[in-house]
Structure formats: structure tokens, C-alpha cells
Amino acid sequence: MGVEYAVGALNLDQTYVNSLIEKDRDKDRRKFEKWLSEPIEMYYVIRIIPAIYISYNLPTNINSEDEAFNFVAGIARERYKKCCLVLSRKEKIFLRKMVRSREGLRLGMLMRVILI
């Protein structure tokens, strides 16, 4: 039971209903894309334990993406936790906790996610 059932039951024009649905989706998509591109203050998130995350504001003296990255990478190293640097609503950098290797402890795999 979906839109098709309602269209048939109410004897509506399927093409017209589909055009209304598409207009509604376009409106929502434009609204979401506008929200997505609004600037935000960078912040970071630390994974405390699985499913428990805490977000923090960056210190006020951090002004660039590189400074923010180095700051959050330092936290990931010191606390042995997974962290995420949120640069914008579209762009995030995930840092893994420290991992052991032959060379000793090092920062784990990095992943940069950009929504398009």
C-alpha cells in the first residue's frame, strides 16, 4: 500500500502526482544542500567507547585547518582514541587511535570524507 494505491483509490492522474512528488523532493534537496553549505565552526569528536562520543570546541587560538588537524592528531596520540575533526558539514577527517608497529606507536589510518 503506497502512493500507487492512494492514486488509484482516489482516481488521480499518476503523472501529475509523480510531478508533485518530484517537486517536493527537489525542494527538500535544495533546502538540505543550502543547510549543508552553511559555514560552521570547526570542532572535534572523541570516541570514548563504542557508541559513546563527546564533541568539543577547538581552542580559540586555532585558526587554520592544519592547526586543527595537528591539535586533534595530538589528542588521538595522547589518549589512544579515535577522533574526528569536523571541518564543515560536508568535510570530516577521521583519525584512528595509536597502533603498534615495528617502529613503535604511530597514528593509525586516516580517512577524509567529503560529501558531494
pTM as predicted: 0.72
Per-residue pLDDT of the chain (116 residues; tens, 9 = 90+): 577 777 777 888 888 888 988 999 999 999 999 999 999 999 999 999 999 999 999 999 999 999 998 899 889 888 888 899 999 999 998 887 655 555 555 555 566 777 75
User: Nearest 10 degrees: CA dihedral of 57, 61, 65, 68?
Assistant: -50
Supply the pLDDT for residue 98.
56
β-pair type (91-95, 110-114): antiparallel
